[in-house]
Amino acid sequence: MPLLPLLPIFHRLNREHFDGTLAMNGQPLSSVRWSDGRMSRTAGFYRRGPGTGEGRGSEIVLSKPLLEPLPQEATESTLCHEMIHAWVDLVLRRRESHGPRFRERMEAINAAQNRFQVSVRHSYPVPVRPPRWWAVCPSCGSRYPYRRRIRNAACRRCCEQHHGGRWHCSFVLQFESAV
């Protein structure tokens, strides 16, 4: 799927699911744009702050590398997710991320149509970086993936089971290289 222009999708979603509250005089309240080619850890984000969104003070950014290869519904679902954040922030003026107002609006949108589903987590294949280390519990043998070694981290399961959730030296994880 080639890169789609985002504004027409924004305006349609705004009409269908936000009663038009996310635009004024035909202009989106926050800027909406594709990322550059490097944004590969998340499918999209919304943020507000001085200097963002070309002076508009807030922006929605969608990941070009993650969404470009996926069907259009992935772009719509991601854009809609970020629009709910913008709506909670700019229209309701609430400070919450995936709180009750976010979820209520998300569920209403999911119930109102079946073109796409919005989820709290972006649920398409965001490439996960492989672990560099396995942390192995010497007592129960549980293996936990880690990006880096953590000194004196202990097995949560064993500490909960045998020590009322308190750290104990006999369950300190042993790190094995995973690469």
Give the residue numbers annotated as catalytic, written as ranges.
Answer: 82
**Least distance CB 19 / Zn ion (angstroms):** 21
Judged by beta carbon, residue 157 or residue 168, the one nearer Zn ion is 157
Cβ–Cβ under 8 Å, residues 93 and 86: no
154/158 Cα distance (integer angstroms): 8
- Point out which span in 19-27, 52-60, 66-74, 152-160 binds Zn ion (CB under 5 A): 152-160
Residues numbered 89-148 forming contacts with Zn ion, rule: CB under 5 A: 137, 139-140, 142
Residue 6 and residue 79 in contact, taking contact as beta carbons nearer than 8 Å:
yes
**Which of 56/144 has CB closer to Zn ion?**
144
**Nearest to 21, CA basis, from 94, 81, 71, 86:** 86
- For Zn ion, give the closer residue by CB, 135 or 179: 135
C-alpha neighbours within 13 Å on the C-beta side of residue 76: 19
Could you say whether residue 155 binds Zn ion (CB under 5 A)? Answer: yes
Binding residues for Zn ion (CB under 5 A): 137, 139-140, 142, 155, 157-158
